[in-house]
Structure formats: C-alpha cells, structure tokens
Amino acid sequence: MTFAPLTAAPRPAKPDDVWIPVRGKEAGHAADGYLTVAEAGDAALICVGSLDGDRLLWTSEAPAGVTTTLWSELFARPEFGQGPVLRAVQIMDWRAGHRYCGSCAAELADCAGYLSRKCPSCDRLYMVGLNPVVLVLVTHEERVLLVRHSYQLSHKWLLVSGYMESGETFELAAAREVFEETGVRLASLAYAGSGPSAFGDPHVLMAGFEGIAASPEVVVDPVEIEEARWFTREEVLALPEEVKPLRGVLGRELLDRWTAGG
C-alpha cells in the first residue's frame, strides 16, 4: 500500500475511502483493518492523504463506540501502514493542541486548502510541523552499544537517541547525544535512514545513523540513562522480545540489520 500525505481533498469523500478516526493518541480501526468512510456517519472529515493513488485517507475525532488502539501498537500489525495511522493521529493531535493563538489567545481559523491555522486577530500562522530526533547505532569491534533510559521504558534496551537543538546539524546532534548519554566519542558517523518514533509522540521524526566508537569506555549520564552496555550479536539475539525495540520502527530495523551482519 502506497501512502502519500495531502493537505487538502482533491475530491469529495467516497464510501470506500479509508477513515481513521482518532481519540487522543489512539487510532480507530476495524477488527481486520481500516474503517471506511461509509462507517463514518456524520463525522467532520478531514482529508490527510491518499492510498495507492486513488483512495483518499480521511480522519476525524473518534465517535463513541469506535474501537481504538494506541497508534504505536498498530505498527507491528501488517494490515496497517505506519504512514496512514501516524498521519491521522498527528494531524488530529496537532489540531487539538492548536485551537487558540499563543500570542493573543484568539481562536484560530483553518486555512482554506491547507492543514495550517491562522489567527484572525494578529495574523500569526501555525503550520503543522515535526520534531527531529537523532537515533544512533554505535558499534565497536563487533559489539553494539544499547542503553536503558531512566525516565521511560526503562525495561527496554534501545539505541542512543535525543532531540536536535537549534543551530545543530543532524551529525552534530548525533555525536553530542552519544557523548552526553554514554561518554562515548565517535570516530565515524554515517546516515542510515529515517522513520517515526513509536514511543508516544506522533510529531517526532527520527533520523538514523550508524557510528563507530573511538573507544569502548562508557560513562553514563545518570539523569537520563539507567544503564549502558556493549552487546555481541549473539547477546542481542538472545534478548527477550519485550526488551528490544518494537518491530516496525527504525531502531529495530537498524539493530536487526546489524545482528544480521549488515
């Protein structure tokens, strides 16, 4: 299934178009896949994308009675695509958080033909945006560096990650985050792909990197990191599924690629 984002509907909704209603950060769905517009009733539909070029993707607030699941939990299910689910949840979550102007408190108005909103009082424009996060698979002599965070998901072994700061490039942010969290300096760094985060925030876009450590010495930041250690491929493969990154997300893709010898 090929997904493409849209900012406006090129045509009216059809009964067989896809409908993903949203409740908080949960996405509505049927037992075996997506709901359709035919099931949307009088929901206020917003077009946010297309599927396979001809079917449109619509979202709305989830009416009572619709089954919903946390968006990240749908990533591992093959009947759902990451793009459509994440797009619907992100747009509805953004709209819920951008109802009033942060400068003058006036109620925001939708911009015709766009998903953005504008203040009718002071003309401040609010655009839907993403928050960039770097994700780094760090290796040293056939071992990979994994961390357990102290503030969330502390049971999971994950790759080093962190938000970019203004004025940084992705590469500078990646090197800084690795050093801040683990004390490890990188000898080299290469871009390895991008993808959404599966841990709570639908507004995050992750930029993945593969780095080689100059030294294996680790000094963790106790505020953010509970534990950091080096793993061999065999040790990673032996980890229980529940402590690894979720299947279908970038961190798991990079880790699986490394354990396979890539």
- pLDDT band for position 63 (50/70/90)? very high
- The answer to whether residue 121 sits within a structural domain is no
Are residues 138 and 27 part of one domain? Answer: no
Same domain (yes/no): 252, 138: yes
Q: Which of 97, 113, 148 is the last residue of a domain?
A: 97
Pair 61, 153 in one domain: no
Count up the domains in the chain and report the number: 2
Query: What pTM did the predictor assign?
Result: 0.85
Cβ pair 7, 91 in contact under 8 A: no
pLDDT band at residue 87, thresholds of 50, 70 and 90? very high
Task: Assess whether pLDDT exceeds 80 at residue 198.
Answer: no
Phi-psi region at 136: left, alpha or beta (left = phi > 0; alpha = psi -120 to 50): beta
Regarding whether 162 and 72 lie in a shared domain, the answer is no
137 found inside a domain: yes
Is the domain of 57 the same as that of 163? no
For 112-148, the DSSP string reads TTSS-EE-TTT--EE----EEEEEEEEESSS-EEEEE
Q: Is 165 helix (H, G, I), strand (E, B) or coil?
A: coil
Q: How confident is the model at residue 249 (pLDDT cuts 50, 70, 90)?
A: confident
Is there a domain that residue 73 lies in?
Answer: yes
Q: Does 63 share its domain with 10?
A: yes
pLDDT of residue 81: 80
How much is the pLDDT for 39? 97
Task: Mark which of 51, 75, 97 sits at the end of a domain.
Answer: 97
Residues 179 and 235 in one domain: yes
* Structural domain includes residue 118: no
Asked whether residue 89 falls in the same domain as residue 141, the answer is no
Reported as a single tens digit per residue, the pLDDT across 101-116 is: 999 999 999 999 999 9
Residues 79 and 139 in one domain: no
Is residue 251 located within the same domain as residue 151? yes
Domain that holds residue 54: 3-97
How many other CB atoms sit within 10 Å of the CB of residue 3?
Answer: 17
Alpha carbon distance 208, 224 (integer Å) = 20
Which of 197 and 223 is assigned the larger pLDDT? Answer: 223
For residue 212, what is the domain's CATH number?
Answer: 3.90.79.10
pLDDT given at position 1: 74
Are residue 30 and residue 150 in the same domain, yes or no? Answer: no
Judge if 152 and 251 occupy the same domain: yes
User: Which of residues 74, 97, 120 is at a domain's end?
Assistant: 97
pLDDT, average across residues 198-213? 89
Would strands 55-61 and 18-23 be described as parallel, antiparallel, or unpaired? parallel
